């Protein structure tokens, strides 16, 4: 059975609550699709108003981060229970910006992945190499480590339901995109890694997105690849063109 495509917009630190609702209203008719899962991953303060705005549509709401504790003295953090109560279905974990600017590690990402599963939230676990790592020829070594540590103690049944997003760091927000061949090669390598950790059935079930300057022009060719099951979209998710990415055929 073919894997269902999933296109998620990562809004990053953009849009006030009122702006977020206006964008959601604008995008709603444009991203209507029976064939693709659509997710708006929005800033924490926008989650509740956006969840209300997209109620009754095909759009699911995601968070951009989450802490791995249930509650407590963690000023500024947001718990999984808070996200669930606000209507969140997905959460982006381990984005390269979180790793680079906020010192997240493979180990903390793993804790968050496990906690998301405990609460029925689908993790979108990010991985990706820097330009230096690609030039050194260690892309797959680096990504395999991110994936293997991120999946510690995750069961095969859980893994089958999650999403992995491959985002080459050198292609995020730069306008550069990995070639279709580069993106497919790494996504295939991730799937092979999953097969090693679990089995072929789990590897076949898991959805792997490509992210990194995805736009309406590049989406059709990228999403046609055997191991690319959609996209994690940054800048283009804030524009009407996001509808063209979702309805890429």
Which residues are identified as catalytic? 95, 167
Q: What does the block give as tokens for 189?
A: 């390598």
What are the two backbone dihedrals, phi and then psi, of residue 208, each rounded to the nearest 5 degrees? -120, 120
DSSP 65-125: ---SSSSSS-TT---HHHHHHHTEEEEEES-HHHHHHH---HHHHHHHHHHHHHTTPEEEE
Treating both helix axes as pointing N-terminal to C-terminal, what angle do 139-150 and 106-118 enclose, rounded to 10 degrees? 40
Q: What is the DSSP letter of 1?
A: -
């Amino acid at each position: 059975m073919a894997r269902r495509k999933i296109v998620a917009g990562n809004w990053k630190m953009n849009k006030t609550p009122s702006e977020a609702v206006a964008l959601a209203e604008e995008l709603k008719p444009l991203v209507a699709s029976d064939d693709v899962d659509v997710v708006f991953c929005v800033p924490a303060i926008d989650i509740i108003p956006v969840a209300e705005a997209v109620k009754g549509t095909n759009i699911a709401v995601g968070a951009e981060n989450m802490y791995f504790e249930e509650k407590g003295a963690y000023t500024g953090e947001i718990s999984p229970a808070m996200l669930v109560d606000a209507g969140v279905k997905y959460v982006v974990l381990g984005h390269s910006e979180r790793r680079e600017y906020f010192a997240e590690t493979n180990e903390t990402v793993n804790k968050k992945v496990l906690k998301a599963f405990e609460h029925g939230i689908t993790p979108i676990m990010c991985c990706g190499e820097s330009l230096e790592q690609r030039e050194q020829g260690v892309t797959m070594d680096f990504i395999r480590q991110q994936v293997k540590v991120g999946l510690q103690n995750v069961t095969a049944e859980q893994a089958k339901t999650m999403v992995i997003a491959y985002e080459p760091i050198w292609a995020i927000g730069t306008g550069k995109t990995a070639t279709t061949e580069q993106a497919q090669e790494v996504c295939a390598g991730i799937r092979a890694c999953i097969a090693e950790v679990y089995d072929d059935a789990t590897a076949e079930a898991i959805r792997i997105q490509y992210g990194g300057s995805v736009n309406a022009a590049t989406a059709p060719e990228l999403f046609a690849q055997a191991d690319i099951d959609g996209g994690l979209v940054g800048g283009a998710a804030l524009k009407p063109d996001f509808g063209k990415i979702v309805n890429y055929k």
